[in-house]
């Protein structure tokens, strides 16, 4: 039986859902989708980035992920609204419910997109393209937002197809259509090819997806490692990965914040790092996982970004140890340029944790300290889960007014992936 895969992606999800919320709940007449608008941070400060944009905002050159200030400079009359993640999760659940009623297997890729394995359903639904149009129209009529649907025999081509002309469209990209529909596209349009990879490809004279597909894969591997092989496979539509109803466990955890002021001193920076680590550690313990790698990300006032990573000798989910490594990286790599963003992420996730005792230590104080900190963290988590995140704070946050858990364990944020 030949595979049939749908990739279904909500058009400008956060903006569409925000517009739906304003009209249905707040009874506002405006439609954010029809005006230059973005969902992002607080317009009164520099805090936040553009999470979603309207078509009108896109025409002003505004792109998802750029700082809010830059977007407002591009479009002085830009309407900025702060996100309502709890509402977005509710709309996402309604979206996924329709897909689960329709498809035998649904894999949620993020809060606003999913793969549906429709193999063998033609006898039930008829022509796949006609059925995709009826599904698209059902979502628009019942949920009042639009989606794009890409159709192919594998996930990568279905994903590429759904990114063709938007919004509210259905596109196919079967193997016999690759040469005409995908190969003429620029390299940056290929799934998982980022800006730096696209720039390097162009420096090598590789400008279209077809150029990648026709390359000797060993040459791509020489320049890009394993990613080069993936590029070649994607460009040729090679992908046998299954649609899985249950998503894999998280492979990394992270937290970052764009600051409303330039950080110029180490003490303030480390206080912010502590609030980030507090949340990361709590998320790890909530999922009963441990990590062996800590990464620090810094963006300075000139928008130069740097990331620095360190490996741990022992797997941990203790907040204090994550914070210790983040501070060590900060001391090693900060050049005293004012900072506007700080981030901490952790990786090499494992379910197992053990602590290696130092056989040559005369005092053997490390192991009891680790055990005590683990129990302390667990007790604090228990109190916060029962009485709220603000029920227990570290002393340095008591009178400062600063957040002691940046982007804390809000249930809506914890249950969904917002890196779309």
Answer yes or no: do 68 and 90 share one domain.
Answer: no
pLDDT attached to residue 213: 96
pTM of the model: 0.66
Answer yes or no: do 210 and 305 share one domain.
Answer: no
Answer yes or no: do 295 and 173 share one domain.
Answer: no
Q: How many CB atoms lie within 10 A of CB 178?
A: 19
Name the band, by pLDDT with cuts 50, 70 and 90, for residue 246. Answer: low
Name the band, by pLDDT with cuts 50, 70 and 90, for residue 409. Answer: low
Check: CB of residue 409 under 8 Å from CB of residue 389: yes
Answer yes or no: do 193 and 292 share one domain.
Answer: no
pLDDT digit string, tens, across residues 217-235:
999 999 988 889 999 999 9
Average pLDDT over residues 75-96: 89
Task: Indicate whether 243 belongs to any domain.
Answer: no
Query: Does residue 118 register a pLDDT over 60?
Result: yes
Task: Indicate whether 154 belongs to any domain.
Answer: yes
State the chain's mean pLDDT as an integer: 86
Task: Indicate whether 420 belongs to any domain.
Answer: no
What's the token pair of residue 408? 């804390």
Name the band, by pLDDT with cuts 50, 70 and 90, for residue 400. Answer: low
Query: Does residue 391 register a pLDDT over 50?
Result: yes
Answer yes or no: do 227 and 332 share one domain.
Answer: no
> Which element (helix H / strand E) includes 265?
none
Q: Which of 171, 178, 162 is closest to 214 using CA atoms?
A: 178
Domain count, the chain: 4
The Cα 255–Cα 362 span in angstroms is 38
Check: CB of residue 154 under 8 Å from CB of residue 5: yes
Average pLDDT over residues 15-27: 92
Q: How many CB atoms lie within 10 A of CB 275?
A: 23
Answer yes or no: do 163 and 72 share one domain.
Answer: no
Average pLDDT over residues 100-114: 91
Task: Indicate whether 144 belongs to any domain.
Answer: yes
Where do we find the tokens 């999470």? Answer: 51
Q: Select the highest-mean-pLDDT range: 197-201, 212-216, 353-357.
A: 212-216
When mean pLDDT is compared across 95-104, 237-246, 373-382, 390-399, the lowest value belongs to: 390-399
Answer yes or no: do 280 and 345 share one domain.
Answer: yes
Average pLDDT over residues 325-350: 91
Q: Which of 191, 146, 151, 155 is closest to 171 using CA atoms?
A: 151
According to DSSP, residue 350 is labeled B
Answer yes or no: do 261 and 362 share one domain.
Answer: yes
The CATH number of whichever domain residue 91 belongs to comes to 3.30.70.270
Q: Calculate ∠ Cα 192-420-323, nearest 5°.
A: 95
Query: Does residue 103 register a pLDDT over 60?
Result: yes
Report H helices in 258-333.
266-286, 319-333
142 Cβ contact partners less than 8 Å away, ≥ 6 residues apart: 98
> Which element (helix H / strand E) includes 137?
helix 128-143
What's the token pair of residue 327? 């501070």
Answer yes or no: do 205 and 124 share one domain.
Answer: no
What's the token pair of residue 237? 């539509």
Catalytic residue set: 113
The Cα 354–Cα 359 span in angstroms is 15
Answer yes or no: do 148 and 279 share one domain.
Answer: no
Q: Bin 259: left if φ > 0, else alpha if -120 < ψ < 50, else beta.
A: beta
Task: Indicate whether 278 belongs to any domain.
Answer: yes
The Cα 68–Cα 97 span in angstroms is 33
Task: Indicate whether 240 belongs to any domain.
Answer: no
At residue 10, what are phi and psi to the nearest 5 degrees? -70, 130
Range of the domain at 258: 252-415
Name the band, by pLDDT with cuts 50, 70 and 90, for residue 353. Answer: low
Instruction: Report whether the peptide linkage leading into residue 140 is cis, meaning its omega lies within 30 degrees of zero.
Output: no
Answer yes or no: do 268 and 394 share one domain.
Answer: yes
pLDDT digit string, tens, across residues 183-192:
999 999 998 7
Check: CB of residue 109 under 8 Å from CB of residue 10: no
pLDDT attached to residue 412: 37
The Cα 153–Cα 313 span in angstroms is 44
Task: Indicate whether 282 belongs to any domain.
Answer: yes
Answer yes or no: do 328 and 220 share one domain.
Answer: no
According to DSSP, residue 67 is labeled B
């Amino acid at each position: 039986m030949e595979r049939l895969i749908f990739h279904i992606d909500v058009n400008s999800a956060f903006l569409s859902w925000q517009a739906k919320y304003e009209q249905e709940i707040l009874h506002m007449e405006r439609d954010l989708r029809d005006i230059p608008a973005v969902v992002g941070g607080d317009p009164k400060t520099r805090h936040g980035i553009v999470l979603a944009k309207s078509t009108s905002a896109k025409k002003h050159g505004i792109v998802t992920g750029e700082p809010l200030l830059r977007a407002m400079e591009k479009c002085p009359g830009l309407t900025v609204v702060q996100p309502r993640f709890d509402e977005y999760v509710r709309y996402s659940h309604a979206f996924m419910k329709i897909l689960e009623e329709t498809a035998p297997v649904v894999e949620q890729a993020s809060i606003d997109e999913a793969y549906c394995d429709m193999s063998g359903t033609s006898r039930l639904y008829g022509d796949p393209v006609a059925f995709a149009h009826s599904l698209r129209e059902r979502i628009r009529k019942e949920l009042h937002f639009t989606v794009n649907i890409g159709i192919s025999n594998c996930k990568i081509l279905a994903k590429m197809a759904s990114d063709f002309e938007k919004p509210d469209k259905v596109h196919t990209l079967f193997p016999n259509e690759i040469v005409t529909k995908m190969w003429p596209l620029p390299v940056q349009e290929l799934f998982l090819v980022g800006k730096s990879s696209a720039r390097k490809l162009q420096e090598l004279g590789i400008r279209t997806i077809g150029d990648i597909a026709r390359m000797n894969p060993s040459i791509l591997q020489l320049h890009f490692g394993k990613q080069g092989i993936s590029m070649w496979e994607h460009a040729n539509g090679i992908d046998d990965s299954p649609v899985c109803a249950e998503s894999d466990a998280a492979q990394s955890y992270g937290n970052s914040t764009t600051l409303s002021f330039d950080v110029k001193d180490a003490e303030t920076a480390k206080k912010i790092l502590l609030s980030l680590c507090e949340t990361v550690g709590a998320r790890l313990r909530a999922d009963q996982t441990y990590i062996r790698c800590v990464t620090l990300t810094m963006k300075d006032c000139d928008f130069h970004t740097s990331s620095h990573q360190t490996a741990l000798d022992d797997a941990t989910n203790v907040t204090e140890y994550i914070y210790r490594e983040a501070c060590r990286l900060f001391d090693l790599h900060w050049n005293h340029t004012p900072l506007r963003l700080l981030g901490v992420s952790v990786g090499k996730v494992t379910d197992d944790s053990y602590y290696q005792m130092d056989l040559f230590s005369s005092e053997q104080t490390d192991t009891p300290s680790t055990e005590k900190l683990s129990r302390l963290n667990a007790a604090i988590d228990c109190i916060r889960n029962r009485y709220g995140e603000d029920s227990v704070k570290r002393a340095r946050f008591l009178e400062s007014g600063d957040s002691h858990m940046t982007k804390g364990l809000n249930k809506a944020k914890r249950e969904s992936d917002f890196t779309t």
